[in-house]
Amino acid sequence: MSRTLVIGDIHGCYNELIRLTTLIGLKEDDLLISVGDIIDRGPKSKEVYHYFRNRPNSIVLAGNHERKHLNGVLSYAQEIVRLQFGDEYPAFLEWCATIGYYHETADAIIVHAAFEHDCALTEQREDVLSGSTAGDKYLEKKYGSSAEWVNKYRGVKPVIYGHHVTGDQPEMRNNTFGIDTGACHGGYLTAIELPGFIVHQVKAEKDYWKEEQASWQIPVLRAKDWENMPFESIRKQLDKLAYIEVPEVKAFLADIERWSAGLYALYPVIIEALATFVTQLVSTHGADFSKAANQYTFKAYLFKSKANNLKIEDLGKSLNTPAKVMELANVLGVADIPLRNY
């Protein structure tokens, strides 16, 4: 007789996934369902993704972490996974767009995060089912807490969900089964076997997320597109990361601060260089200055400079990234343009 196995939040814990399915004695005709959040935080998100994509008779539901990738809302954990996937990342995003938000069997309703007690299954909100920020806020407004839905549920059919870490053991209350037991934080990876609601668990080898956060700091920082990041955003990034005490990271951030501040300080130099450029155009083209100036992508600066009306604020509005500053500074022949060391 085939079984249905529902697994809690895996979060890249591939070793634990293999140990758990081995412990269960998973067979080819068993249906394997993930409640979602198969990626992020753990060390082997790509391996977990491959496992589910390649295994027939498997279902992955959309969790808030899959939605973050799909919607391009990338915080540190998602930036790590994007680097881990490399060229395969676009295909992963396409796959994320195909997975569902709930699955119903004869024994249970399976979702990632939450279920509204007073809504039909087909009318449930995707942001609620997946536990996205918008869904959590909606539930907080409705119930006072995003987790309160469990206390409201009175359905006959059990709901199995993840998302909220329940501790080392699943939380079984009001005919609901919370099975995120914190595998990526060094807790347990949990599965519920249907029918029968038999609990299976394996202990995680370590606190993977703590380890991953430390080991990926420099690769993630190097991968950021600092050259095309607005100066204001660079400042926010530096302020956000100022708490980090790791010497290598501090040195990298200090170099970004020196480099970006040096480029920002080129505004007055660029204004002088533009004035010199205008003088040369007038000398060469005379009355045809306008025609000559219009050939340049920075023509607006040239006309303002000729009218003695070019201010630093004008440059700041559109010359707002390191790449744009460096490009114009190079065209104008500005010397000593700051460069990054890392």
Cα distance between residue 14 and residue 135, in whole Å: 28
Q: Which amino acid is at 257?
A: E
Residue pair 230/64 in contact (Cβ under 8 Å)? The answer is no
Beta bridge partners of 31: 4
Question: Are 277 and 331 a contacting pair, CB within 8 Å?
Answer: no
Give me the tens of pLDDT residue by residue for the chain, a chain 342 residues long. Answer: 799 999 999 999 999 999 999 999 999 999 999 999 999 999 999 999 999 999 999 999 999 999 999 999 999 999 999 999 999 999 999 999 999 999 999 999 999 999 999 999 999 999 999 999 999 999 999 999 999 999 999 899 999 999 999 999 999 999 999 999 999 999 999 999 999 999 999 999 999 999 999 999 999 999 999 999 999 999 999 999 999 999 999 999 999 999 999 999 999 999 999 999 999 999 999 999 999 999 999 999 999 999 999 999 999 999 999 999 999 999 999 999 999 999
Q: What is the CATH number of domain 4-210?
A: 3.60.21.10
Residues 26 and 7: beta-carbon distance below 8 Å: no
User: Distance between CA 247 and CA 219 in Å, rounded?
Assistant: 15
Contact between residue 104 and residue 121 where contact means Cβ atoms under 8 Å apart: yes
| Number of DSSP helices (H) and strands (E) in the chain, helices first | 17, 10
Residues 6+ apart with CB under 8 A from 178: 150, 161, 162, 164, 166, 170, 171, 172
Q: What 8-state DSSP symbol labels residue 175?
A: T
Query: What length is written for the chain?
Result: 342
Domain positions in the chain are 4-210, 224-342
What is the distance between the alpha carbons of residues 44 and 27, in angstroms, rounded to a whole number? 23
